[in-house]
Amino acid sequence: MLSALQFSRLDLIVLITATLMLIASCSSISNKATTHTYYIAADEIQWDYAPTGKNQITGRAFSEDENVFVATADDRIGKVYIKSVYREYTDATFSTLKPRGPEWEHLGYLGPVIRAGVGDEIKIVFKNNLSIMASVHPHGVFYTKDAEGSPYNDGTSGADKKDNMIHPGDTFVYEWSVPERSGPGPNDPSSIVWMYHSHVDSPKATNSGLIGPIIISRESGGYASDVDREFVTLFTVTDENDTYYLDKNIQKFTKGVDDTDDDDFYESNLMHGMNGFVYGNLPGMVMKNGERVRWYLIGLGTEIDLHTPHWHGHTVLFNGNRTDVLELMPASLKTVDMTLDNEGTWLFHCHVNDHIKAGMLSMFTVLPK
Ligand SMILES: [Cu+2]
Residue 27: the pLDDT is 44
Phi and psi at 44, nearest 5°, equal: -90, 130
Distance 222 CA to ligand 1 centre (A): 30
Contact 206, 239 (CB under 8 A): no
Mean pLDDT, to the nearest integer, of 21-44? 74
* Torsion angle in degrees (nearest 10) through CA of 16, 19, 20, 25: 160
Q: How far is CA 268 from CA 60, 66, 241, 330, in A?
A: 20, 10, 9, 21
What percent of the chain is modeled with pLDDT above 90?
Answer: 91
- State the average pLDDT over residues 228-243: 98
Ligand 1 centroid to 251 CA: how many Å? Answer: 30
Residue 219 has a pLDDT of 94
Residue 2 pLDDT? 45
Alpha carbon of 355 to ligand 1 centroid (Å):
5
Greater model confidence, 199 or 16 = 199
CA of 279 to the centre of ligand 1 (A): 13
Residue pair 298/309 in contact by the 8 Å Cβ criterion: no
Question: Ligand 1 center to residue 280 CA distance, Å?
Answer: 14
Amino acid at 86: Y
Amino acid at 240: E
Q: 104-120, pLDDT tens digit by residue?
A: 999 999 999 999 999 99
Kindly give the distance from the C-alpha atom of residue 262 to the centroid of ligand 1, in angstroms, as a whole number: 23
**Of residues 177 and 8, which shows the higher confidence score?**
177
Whether the per-residue pLDDT at 20 is higher than 70: the answer is: no
Centre of ligand 1 from the C-alpha of residue 340, in Å: 24
Contact 337, 316 (CB under 8 A): yes
Taking 70 as the threshold, does the pLDDT of residue 76 lie above it? yes
- Centre of ligand 1 to C-alpha 306, Å, is 6
Q: What span, in angstroms and rounded, lies between the C-alpha atoms of 344 and 327?
A: 25
Q: State the average pLDDT for the chain.
A: 94
Tell me what pLDDT residue 29 has.
Answer: 46
pTM for the complete prediction? 0.90
Q: Confidence class of residue 23 from pLDDT cuts 50, 70 and 90? A: low
pLDDT at 353 over 50: yes
Average pLDDT over residues 264-284: 98
C-alpha 329 – ligand 1 centre gap (Å): 9
CA 238 / ligand 1 centre spacing (Å)? 11
Phi, psi of 307 (to 5 degrees): -115, 150
| Percent of the chain residues past pLDDT 70, beyond the cut | 91
Q: Tell me: pLDDT of 30 over 70.
A: no
Q: How far apart are CA 230 and CA 336, in angstroms?
A: 10
Cα(175)–Cα(188) distance, rounded to whole angstroms? 25
Give distance in angstroms: CA of 350 to centre of ligand 1.
5
Distance 327 CA to ligand 1 centre (A): 9
Q: CA–CA separation, 159 vs 253, rounded Å?
A: 42
**For the chain, how big is the Rg over CA atoms in Å?**
25
| Span 149-195, pLDDT tens digits | 999 999 999 999 999 999 999 999 999 999 999 999 999 999 999 99
pLDDT at residue 282 greater than cutoff 60: yes
| Residues 211 and 300 sit within 8 Å (Cβ to Cβ) | yes
**Residue 365: is its pLDDT beyond 90?**
yes
The confidence score (pLDDT) of residue 15 equals 61
Q: Which of 199, 99, 72, 61 is nearest to 139 (CA)?
A: 199
Q: What is the mean pLDDT of residues 296-310?
A: 97
Q: 100 C-alpha vs ligand 1 centroid, how far in Å?
A: 27
Domains and CATH numbers, the chain: 35-367 (2.60.40.420)
Kindly give the distance from the C-alpha atom of residue 294 to the centroid of ligand 1, in angstroms, as a whole number.
20
